Amino acid sequence: MPLTSHGTTIGTLKMYFKDASGLSRVEEELAEGLAKLFSTQLELGEAELRSKLLKDAEIKALQAQVNPHFLFNAINTISALCRQDVEKARKLLLQLSIYFRSNLQGARQLLIPLSKELDHVHAYLSLEQARFPNKYEIDMYIEEELDDVLLPPFILQVLVENAIRHAFPRKQKHCRVEVYIETKDKYVYVKVKDNGQGIDTKRLQMLGNQPVFSEKGTGTALYNIKQRLHGLFGKETTLEFDVTEGTAVSFVIPIELKSEGM
C-alpha cells in the first residue's frame, strides 16, 4: 500500500502472508486503514517541522500533548481485536485515523465547527471504550442545530479526555461523563461534568492559572485552554470549575457560525 503525504507517494507499506489464500478482503481493508493512519502520522511529522511558522502557540502546545501511550494502547487494542472481531478492529482503525487527522487539521485553524470537534471526541471515546468495555458511560446533551457553531479546536476533546484520565479512582465502577452544549441569547454554553473524585482545594486554585504536574501528565491542558479562550474572546471568557459533585468544567463563548468556505 502506498504511503502518501499531501498527495505524493513517499513510501510503501508491505504485509507478508505465508499463504496467498490467507489474503482476504478483510486483510486488504486492514492494510488500507494502516496505510492511511501511517500517512497521517507522516503528515503530522511534517507539520511539526513547520510548527515554527504557526502563529497560534497554544494550539501547538495542545497538539504536542497527544499522549504516546494513547497511540500505543490503541494499536494494542486493535491488534488484539484482529483475532477476535475483525470488523470491530477495522472500525477502530478508522476511528484512530480520524483522531489523528483531527489533530492535524485542528492545528491549522483557530475555530472549527462543532460537528468536526464532536468527530474528534467520538473517535477518542471509541478507542477508550474499546480498551475498557462498560467502564465509562458518556452522555451528551447537545442542543439541536448547533453543528455549524464555531469553537476552538481540541477544546471539547481535551476536556473530555481530561475527565477520563484524571477524574476517576481505579476502583470506581460507575464512571460517568456528561457533555452539555446549549445556546442562550448570543452565547454558547459548554460544560463537561463527571462523577469522579473531585479536586482538592489547593489544586483547584492552580488549575487553569498555571501548569499542574502529576503522575498522569504535564498538567498544561487546562492552562492552555484558558489562555486560548482569553486570546480569542478576551479575559471575560474563562474556565469555570464546580466541584460540588464530582467536577464540572465550563465556559461561555459568543456565537459564531461557519462560513460557506469552511
- Residue 72 φ then ψ, to 5°: -60, -50
3-state percent helix, strand, coil for the chain, nearest multiple of 5: 50, 20, 30
Tell me which residue has cell 483475532.
83
Q: Which of 74, 37, 116, 148 is nearest to 108 (CA)?
A: 116
Is residue 8 very low, low, confident or very high in pLDDT (cuts 50, 70, 90)? confident
> Which carries the bigger pLDDT value, residue 259 or residue 27?
27
Report the distance separating Cα 100 and Cα 66, nearest Å.
Answer: 9
Least confident of 2-16, 28-42, 214-228, 246-260: 214-228
Q: What tens digit of pLDDT does each residue of 133-192 get?
A: 889 999 999 999 999 999 988 889 989 998 998 889 888 888 999 999 999 989 999 999
Could you tell me the CA-to-CA distances from 132 to 35, 57, 77, 136, 164 in Å, in that order?
Answer: 26, 34, 10, 8, 11
Q: What tens digit of pLDDT does each residue of 51-94 get?
A: 444 444 455 545 545 566 777 788 888 888 888 888 888 888 88
Residue 123 CA, chain-centre distance (Å), reads 7
Domain boundaries, the chain: 1-108, 135-262
* CATH class of the domain defined by 135-262: alpha beta
